[in-house]
Amino acid sequence: MNKLKEGEILEELRRRGTIFEDPCPKSEGFIGKLIDIFLKKK
């Protein structure tokens, strides 16, 4: 299992078109959950 930096994961998700630019700090928890789900699927 590759250990990717958070930024790399976000970039990969953006490339796949499954994530949006996040202007709201409150959404960090949401993005954290997306990253957790993304990592668990690997």
Q: At CA 10, angle to CA 39 and CA 22, rounded to 5?
A: 125
Range of the domain at 13: 6-41
CA 1 to chain centre: 16
Residue 23 maps to a domain: yes
Residue 37 maps to a domain: yes
Contact partners, residue 4, CB within 8 Å, separation at least 6: 12
CA 25 to chain centre: 14
> What is the end-to-end Cα distance of the chain in Å, rounded?
7
pTM of the model: 0.30
Q: What does the pLDDT look like over 1-42, one tens digit per residue?
A: 456 677 787 777 777 765 555 555 555 677 777 777 888 876
Residue 1 maps to a domain: no
| Distance in angstroms (rounded) separating the CA atoms of residues 28 and 42 | 21
Q: Tell me how many domains the chain contains.
A: 1
